[in-house]
Structure 1
Amino acid sequence: MNLFQYDFMIRALIGALVIGLAAPALGIYLVQRKMSLIGDGIGHVALTGVGVGLLLDRSPVITAVIVAAAGAVAIELLRERGRTSGDLALALLFYGGIAGGVMLVGLSNNRSNASLMAYLFGSLTTTSRTDLVVICVLGAVVLAAMLLLRPALFAICHDEEYARVSGLPVRALNILIAVAAAVTVTIAMRTVGLLLVSALMVVPVAAAQQVTRGFRSTMAAAMALGVLAAGLGVWLAGEIDTAVGATIVVLAIAGFLAVAVAAAAWRALRRRPFTRTAEVEPPDVILER
């Protein structure tokens, strides 16, 4: 039976492919800045936004975008001014976000665990047409920004002081990355869930780094791996009846392991010295007088 004859599976596939393309395009900058776990922190803050939406009977997606973006910008400004270290900022995001979200969801009229689990671990097969439009539009905006501003964003991620001396708007670009991360996390909560979205940002990038050298090639390979994991994840989840988000992440990690093992084997093979055949001593030459 063809699972994609159903409209909800087609919407699930399109949404997953958009996230699989946009998340690694943003994630490569986070990995470059050694902030791979910021997606988890923003995901926890987005849960507070979901709780606000449920409490006020508004769209949880919209409130999650607003709250997550505000939290990401606040943490970026704190990091820039040096008033708190990176790990402490992430700790504030983790604990404050998850505690506020659970508390607000408990105060709302919709207290069912199923509703909360849908946001934490994703529920892509219940994505409506409106949700799909929001995912596609915001995903396209994030992807366009990450690709069009790639030279400037790479500069601040590689050497922020040099970028500032070169005249780049470092603060604005840092805030752009923070807001893009918040938007990506929020739209991906319908795909892989708030607790798993960071994996889709980081794992394809980590896999691509095993076989590529340049920044551009790494980004392209990571986006390809993200799309592949997302597409196969939706199909496999439909075939074996598992959670879509978890299946996508498991496939992404499996892809990373396969690429890492293959790359290690290839490097070991190249380092292995070639065995040469023993040279046969030439016969004695007798010179005639």
Structure 2
Amino acid sequence: MIYMLTHYAFVRYALIAGLITGVVAPLIGSFVVVRRLSVIADALAHVTLSGVAFGILMGTISRTMGLVDPVYYGTLFALVAALFIEKLRNVYRFYSELAIPIILSTGVGLGVVLIGLAHGFNVDLMGILFGNILSVTKADLVRIAVAGAVVIATVFLFYKELVSLSFDEEGARLSGVPAGTINFIFSALIALVISVSMQIVGILLVSALITLPVASALRVAHSFRSLIAYAIIFAEISVILGMTASFYFDLATGGTIVLVAVGILLIVLLAGRVRQLVRA
């Protein structure tokens, strides 16, 4: 692994991109899990897939439109979906949870239609679905780094508001927190995290990287800040071990990273059970 890092630029790009994802995915995932909105990542991921399929379709129709990376179309679709989620929450004020399955269903339906129009699954779409971390170029790395920096800076800037809405939304509203605006920003951050993660683990597995490290961290953390810290540590371990295993055993990198994250969760759960038995 060290030899490959020192001799092959694409391996360095892949590792750096994976490490960035290992920070931003559990960072946002901590808020997602605490707010019990884990399904929102799947909803926006499916909308992102629709955007990517639209971008690929545009590439087959127009050479000019094809110059734009389909990932940017996916990100744009996800940001628009984030806006619609907040609008639907206002429409269904007493049934706000309906907003997410509506967007999820729309994303799935639109994705199926656009994939069909784009003449089915091709190499580009398969890479987006299941991830292709070794295809990360220098331009991709810059895009991932910029998106990651935006996510981290925004969370830092609105940390107090995000925490308030996560633990006591009604109290936050009464204290003057602009819930609608913050909720949209939160959904937009998830969209950006998906755009960062899709090339690493693929759209179908991105929600796993957002939630699994947080699920492990919940068993050992004693505060919200420590939850974020542990989640990031577990995610980085998953990325490093997953990439290493995939290189040596010729496995799919995205799936291997997720399986390592599952393994960490099982170890944490088992360790917690052992501690309970020892104390008993």
Instruction: Provide the rounded CA distance (Å) in 1 between the counterparts of 2:29 and 2:250.
Output: 29
Equivalence for 2:214: 205
Partner of 1:73: 83
Counterpart of 1:275?
A: none
Larger radius of gyration: 1
2:129 to 115, 120, 130: 120
TM-score, structure 2 normalization = 0.91
Cα separation, partners in 2 of 1:263 and 1:121, compared to 1, 3 Å:
same
Give SS of 1:260's match.
helix
Aligned to 1:136: 145
Work out which of the residue numbers 254, 260, 267 in structure 2 matches 1:258.
Answer: 267
Q: Which amino acid aligns with 1:16?
A: G
Distance 2:105 2:4 in 1: 39
* Secondary structure in structure 2 of the residue aligned to 1:195: helix
Which residues of 2 match residues 65-104 of structure 1 at below 5 A? 65-82=75-92, 85=95, 88-104=98-114
Paired residue secondary structure (1:40): helix
Aligned AA (2:152):
L
**What is the letter of the counterpart of residue 83 of structure 2?**
V
Task: Please give the alpha-carbon distance, in whole angstroms, between the structure 2 residues aligned to 1:27 and 1:137.
Answer: 19
Q: Which residue of 2 aligns with 1:41?
A: 43
1:84 Cα offset (Å): 7.8
CA–CA distance in 2 between the matches of 1:80 and 1:138?
A: 28
Q: Distance in 1 between matches of 2:130 and 2:103?
A: 18
Displacement of 1:137:
0.8
| Distance across 2 between alignment mates of 1:113 and 1:242 | 20
Q: Which residue of 1 aligns with 2:17?
A: 15
Determine whether 1:248 maps to 2:257. yes
Q: Aligned pair in 2 of structure 1 residues 40, 84: CA closer, same or farther (>3 Å)?
A: farther
- In structure 2, relative to structure 1, the CA distance for the partners of 1:156 and 1:231 (3 Å cut) is same
Q: Please give the secondary structure, in 1, of the residue aligned with 2:177.
A: coil
Q: What is the letter of the counterpart of residue 134 of structure 2?
A: T
TM norm structure 1: 0.88
CA distance in 1, matches of 2:219, 2:201: 24
Task: Map 1:100-111 onto structure 2 (within 5 A).
Answer: 100-108=110-118, 111=120
Number of residue equivalences: 270
Whole-angstrom distance in 2 between the partners of 1:231 and 1:46: 26
Larger deviation: 145-154 or 198-207? 145-154
Which runs of no fewer than 5 residues in structure 1 stay unpaired? 273-289
- Opposite residue 12 of structure 2, the aligned amino acid is I
Other-structure match for 2:61? none
The residue aligned with 1:3 is 4
Q: Residue 51 of structure 1 contacts residue 101 of structure 1 at CA under 8 Å; is this kept in 2? A: yes
For the residue of structure 2 that corresponds to 1:196, the secondary structure is: helix
Contact 2:90 2:96 in 1 (8 A): no
CA-to-partner distance for each residue in 1:116-135, whole Å, 9 max, x for gaps? 21111111111111111100
Partner of 2:198: 189
Calculate the aligned-residue CA RMSD, in Å.
1.7
* Correspondences of 1:158-177 after superposition (within 5 Å): 158-177=167-186
Question: 1:100: Cα distance to partner?
Answer: 1.6
- The Cα of 1:69 is off from its aligned counterpart by 0.8
Tell me the CA shift for residue 86 of structure 1: 5.4
Shift in Å, 1:190: 0.4
What percent identity do the matched residue pairs reach? Answer: 37
Greater helix share, structure number? 2
1:28 pairs with 2:30 = yes
Alignment partners' CA distance in 2, 1:95 and 1:189: 20
Q: Distance in 1 between matches of 2:34 and 2:226?
A: 14
Question: Please, which moves more after superposition, 162-171 or 51-60?
Answer: 51-60
